[in-house]
Amino acid sequence: MKAILIDSDADAVQDFINKSGKINEIELAGTFSTGREAFAFVQKHPVDLVILEIDLQDINGILLAKKLYIWDSEILFLFISQTEKYVMEALRLHAVTYLVKPYSKEELLFAIESAVLLSRRKKKKIFVKTFGHFDVFVDGKPIMFHSAKAKELLALLVDRRGGTVNTDQVIGTLWEERPNDEATQNLCSKINKKLMQELEEYGVQEMLVHSRGIRRVDTEVFHCDLYDLLDGKEDARRQFVGEYMLDYSWAEERMGQLNRIFWGKI
């Protein structure tokens, strides 16, 4: 979960960092001393949780939260204040919780755990369609990929069902006619970044997991007809009519396997 912290008090910021340092559920994407800086950041970067002190130098935290909510109604809020007088206003904004300074590490941990649970409930519904043509749907609407190669890279990772794929494997599949040289490796890196940008645009970047040239999809965050078929679900079997990722030649082997398994076709 990506979070930002907004507090005009540098000591309070450091206190939060010290207490949250070993909480793996959140990634602190930025700290800000003013609401203006924070709002500018949220306009350009996806944020799941905003942790904010109500008494900011340039704007009341409640007013800032209202602006952020209008910008993105999926954002969760964790309010921090010196007093309890803003509790009701915070609750009207569906705050995760309201911490009064000084708060303990245990209180912060409980607040973060509550935010994680709420975030999971609010996550976008992602469905990956592999039967016929490959497509990804977010809340019932298809992702309109700008890059065909980025879409194909995601298709390859979905086909691997969470298995890791390195740069050499990607190049050998997506650019089999090109030499595996520095230029092609740089192209592969650009396509990987483009895919992440495409997913971020639709708020589903959690689908992609990557580190040092290794990529995979997180199969826990989306539904997929292929996975349902392999898991023996009858609905998926009825939907499969022998066609799989028709746009990609490398998928023909998998399509043959599925046809032999489920239809007895050679």
Every domain of the chain with CATH number 1.10.10.10 lies at 126-263
Q: How far apart are CA 130 and CA 51, in angstroms?
A: 39
Every domain of the chain with CATH number 3.40.50.2300 lies at 2-122
Query: In this predicted structure, what is the pLDDT of residue 121?
Result: 60
**Reported confidence tier of residue 266, pLDDT bands at 50, 70, 90:** very low
Query: In this predicted structure, what is the pLDDT of residue 186?
Result: 94
**Reported confidence tier of residue 232, pLDDT bands at 50, 70, 90:** confident
**Reported confidence tier of residue 124, pLDDT bands at 50, 70, 90:** low
> Within a 13 Å sphere around the CA of 15, how many CA atoms are in the beta-carbon half?
15
| Domain 126-263 class, CATH top level | mainly alpha
Choose among 122, 152, 158, 116: nearest CA to 139.
122
Interval 14-68: pLDDT, tens: 988 888 877 777 888 999 999 999 999 998 888 889 999 898 888 888 999 999 9
| Pair 216, 162: CB distance under 8 Å | yes
| Pair 1, 49: CB distance under 8 Å | yes
CATH number of 2-122: 3.40.50.2300
pLDDT at 7 over 80: yes
Mean pLDDT of 117-144: 86
Query: In this predicted structure, what is the pLDDT of residue 265?
Result: 53
**Percent of the chain that is helix, strand, coil (3-state, to 5):** 45, 20, 35
Instruction: Quote the percentage of the chain above a pLDDT of 90.
Output: 51
Q: How far apart are CA 213 and CA 189, in angstroms?
A: 8
* Beta strands at 49-53 and 2-6: parallel, antiparallel or unpaired: parallel
Q: What is the pTM of this model?
A: 0.57
Mean pLDDT of 82-94: 84
